A = this chain, B = another copy of it.
Amino acid sequence: MHRTPTSQSPIGIFDSGVGGLTVLKAMQKLLPSEQLLYFGDTARVPYGTKSQVTIRRYAEEDTRILLRHQPKMIIVACNTVSALALDVVEKTADPLPVLGVLEAGADTAVEVTRTGRIGVIGTQATISSNAYAYAINQASADSEVFSTACPLFVPLAEEGMLNNEATRLIAREYLAPLLAEEIDTLVLGCTHYPILRTIIEETAGTGVTIIDSAEAVAARAAALLRNTGMEASGTRATIPHLMVSDLPQKFSSLYRLFMNATVPDVELVEV
């Protein structure tokens, strides 16, 4: 049985793993009074290398895990799910509003670009889906999108190699074809990438504006809550409710890397 959500209901966020913590962090910063619920499917991470059929099945299961807690909104923090299975989440969560990082990043890029030449980087699955190019062209038919997959950025981020010569070489190699196209805007189309933002920004140079999809989706969530009168009242900062499907030793250290904070209590959920 589902109750009608109120303004005090939580906001549910899910991701394939820890990457979506950049969305949690952006949400906390922008909406400190909201009760945030985070599910990271750490048992089945990564989604980016899996087939569409599998990703769509996982997306439905992940949404149902959040629905148990009667949220007022669902945020898909996973670019792969946003790209390949947003309709599955919308159908499963209906009539709740659903926001995807991908759409938020795409729309923000269109608002920011001056030349209409937009670069997108992400996992292989996100880039192969062409979902960013599609979403950007929906928002502005004149934009030209240049995209490239950067499969090593996730493990480099998780290794904490944030200021490292090898990371710099790899970033240069990945970004070269986009920079050759004279992009003026670059979308970080994977929630891990903000961790490497300094090196990506350095490599892209001052002429390129970086769009962080995590910040973009948090801004859209704030606007939606404001416009629908569903903002939580209260002035106290809340503690997020964290759920994961597997608890590797690694989780604590990654939580620290993403959130600059020690890990609070985490609930283990079976998938």
The answer to the question of A54 belonging to the interface, with a C-beta cut-off of 8 Å to chain B, is: yes
The answer to the question of A250 belonging to the interface, with a C-beta cut-off of 8 Å to chain B, is: yes
Instruction: Collect the chain B residues with CB atoms within 8 Å of residue A152's CB.
Output: 152, 155-156, 159, 161
Q: Give a binary string over A24-52; 1 marks a CB under 8 Å from any B CB, 0 the rest.
A: 00000000000000000011110001110
Partner of A248, one of B49, B151, B246: B49
Instruction: Collect the chain B residues with CB atoms within 8 Å of residue A248's CB.
Output: 49-51, 125
The answer to the question of A170 belonging to the interface, with a C-beta cut-off of 8 Å to chain B, is: yes
Tell me whether A51 and B247 are in contact (CB under 8 A): yes
The answer to the question of A265 belonging to the interface, with a C-beta cut-off of 8 Å to chain B, is: no
Q: Give a binary string over A95-131; 1 marks a CB under 8 Å from any B CB, 0 the rest.
A: 0000000000000000000000000000011001000
The answer to the question of A165 belonging to the interface, with a C-beta cut-off of 8 Å to chain B, is: yes
Partner of A166, one of B128, B151, B170: B170
Number of interface residues of A (CB under 8 A): 30
CA distance A152 to B149 in the complex (A): 17
Partner of A246, one of B51, B151, B156, B250: B51
Closest beta carbon of chain B to A107's beta carbon, Å: 28
Instruction: Collect the chain B residues with CB atoms within 8 Å of residue A247's CB.
Output: 51
CA distance A246 to B53 in the complex (A): 9
Closest beta carbon of chain B to A257's beta carbon, Å: 13
Instruction: Collect the chain B residues with CB atoms within 8 Å of residue A249's CB.
Output: 51, 128
Tell me whether A50 and B246 are in contact (CB under 8 A): yes
Closest beta carbon of chain B to A80's beta carbon, Å: 12
CA distance A257 to B42 in the complex (A): 28
Instruction: Collect the chain B residues with CB atoms within 8 Å of residue A166's CB.
Output: 166-167, 169-170, 173
Known contacts A50-B43, A151-B155, A250 near B124 by CB under 8 Å: yes
The answer to the question of A158 belonging to the interface, with a C-beta cut-off of 8 Å to chain B, is: yes
Closest beta carbon of chain B to A151's beta carbon, Å: 6
Instruction: Collect the chain B residues with CB atoms within 8 Å of residue A250's CB.
Output: 49, 124
Interface pairs (23), CB distance under 8 Å:
A42-B49, A43-B50, A43-B54, A45-B49, A50-B246, A51-B247, A51-B248, A51-B249, A151-B155, A151-B158, A152-B152, A152-B155, A152-B156, A152-B161, A154-B155, A155-B155, A165-B169, A166-B166, A166-B167, A166-B169, A166-B170, A166-B173, A169-B169
Partner-B contacts on A (CB < 8 A): 42-45, 49-51, 54, 124-125, 128, 151-152, 154-156, 158-159, 161, 165-167, 169-170, 173, 246-250
